[in-house]
Amino acid sequence: MKKNVKLVLLLSVSLFLSSCSREETETNSVTNTSERGKILIQTPSGATLEKVGDDYIWLGDILLSPSQVKEVSSKGYFSGLLLKGDKKNPATYVDPNTHLPIAIQGQKASTKAGDPKAAVGIYPRGNNQWGLVRYVLAPNLTQDRHRIINEAMAHWQAHTNVRFYNMTGQSTRRPDGSSHDYIEFVNANVNNSYVGRIGGRQVLNLAQNQDAATAIHEIGHAVGLFHEQSAPNRDDFMNINWGNLRREVWHNFDKVSPATLFEAVDYSSIMMYSSYISDPAFVYNPNIPVMTRKDGSTWGSTRVLSMSDRVLANHLYLPYIPRSDSYRELDDIVYKPDNTIMSSTERLALQAKLNNGNPIPPLGGRVHVN
């Protein structure tokens, strides 16, 4: 039996190295172990990746592109993590969709109750942020998945500037032959997603019998959010009960560094796991919390976007209406970065700024949305 185990591990190492060579994602793997059909890969950076089929997964449910595998393996993170300034020196970026500056204000982190919360996300660049989130629905999606996807997108659109455009049944090719960037919602036995826009087709997997909160969470990854428990300063605010976690899943609770907004961890974020995990593949005792606040208190599952989830999305997105021309038309409701709604005067002024001073969109340019 031991010889067979060694043979499996040797084959796993061989397969991993050969696949990396084909995709130019060599990681110089240190150790490989099998875990419930997965290959766990300990990389030189210290990050642990799961290889399942052709997919590389990080932090439990984050899919990685070949270039991201290489970066995470060598650095422990991938390009595009959003850094935050402070009150005197905000981190200022240029929105790739609007070409307008974005000032991400920061505050000193503190563990006191009621302190500002921050979401963990990615730097907005032209190659990782969506204007409209184009998507298609896989033909074999079950009815329950259709329902939760629609509920999740409706929730994002009701509370943020993120907008979705259904391309199902349409060509995913542009007139010049290049591919649109889009999400394909897929039936799977797992829930996972890429973080941000990676280019071309990217899948968002949803398992059977999930609820809308799961879809909201995975869409959160796709629009650019990481897990709250992965924040680099999370140990200032919470404790991880490693003794109740099975050793093979410890990597799901790794910190991402450097990562973003150095403020208090948001326990109510849709991107934060519950204190309690019931899956026996993760924990020894489901009645003992995996995560607690510093004072020992716990929190439950979140089913909706928190204020900080919305703040990050509303910093980085504007609610564009799909058009066949180049005019940038905004939806009637536009959220400010503080989650308040712009007045019609403010909205028209912004629309004019986006369109060389013209606040009035040309007639006939809107595209019908399914």
Q: Is 155 annotated as a binding residue?
A: no
Lowest average pLDDT, out of 71-80, 152-161, 248-257, 261-270, goes to 261-270
Q: Where are the domains of the chain?
A: 35-78, 321-369
Q: Answer whether residue 346 shows pLDDT above 90.
A: yes
**Confidence band, pLDDT 50/70/90 cuts, at residue 253:** very high
Whether pLDDT at 302 is above 90: yes
99 labeled part of a ligand binding site: no
Distance CA 140, CA 196 (A): 25
pLDDT for 173 equals: 86
Q: Which of 20-24, 172-176, 249-253, 352-356 has the lowest mean pLDDT?
A: 20-24
What is the rounded (10 degree) CA torsion for 190, 192, 78, 17? 30
Choice among 50, 71, 184, 218 that is catalytic: 218
Lowest mean pLDDT among 25-34, 129-138, 223-232, 347-356: 25-34
- Across all residues in the chain, what is the average pLDDT? 82
> Is-contact 328 317, C-beta < 8 A?
no
Q: Using pLDDT thresholds of 50, 70 and 90, give the confidence band for residue 129.
A: confident
Cα distance between residue 61 and residue 227, in whole Å: 10
Q: For position 93, what pLDDT does the model report? A: 52
Q: Is pLDDT of 96 > 60? A: no
At residue 312 the predicted structure's pLDDT band, cuts being 50, 70 and 90, is confident
Residue-level pLDDT at 28: 33
Q: What is the pLDDT of residue 316?
A: 83
Percent of the chain surpassing pLDDT 70: 75
Q: Is the pLDDT of residue 278 over 60?
A: yes
Residue 345 pLDDT greater than 70, yes or no: yes
Half-sphere exposure of 106 (CA within 13 A, CB side): 18
205 phi/psi in degrees, rounded to 5: -90, 135
Q: Over the stretch 108-117, which tens digit does the pLDDT of each residue have?
A: 434 444 445 5
Residue type for position 279: D
- Pick the more confident residue, 210 or 29: 210
Distance separating alpha carbons of residues 98 and 266, to the nearest angstrom: 28
Q: Judge whether 221 is annotated as a binding position.
A: yes
**Span 36-54, average pLDDT:** 90
Q: Are 251 and 305 in contact (CB under 8 A)?
A: no
The answer to whether 184 is a known catalytic residue is no
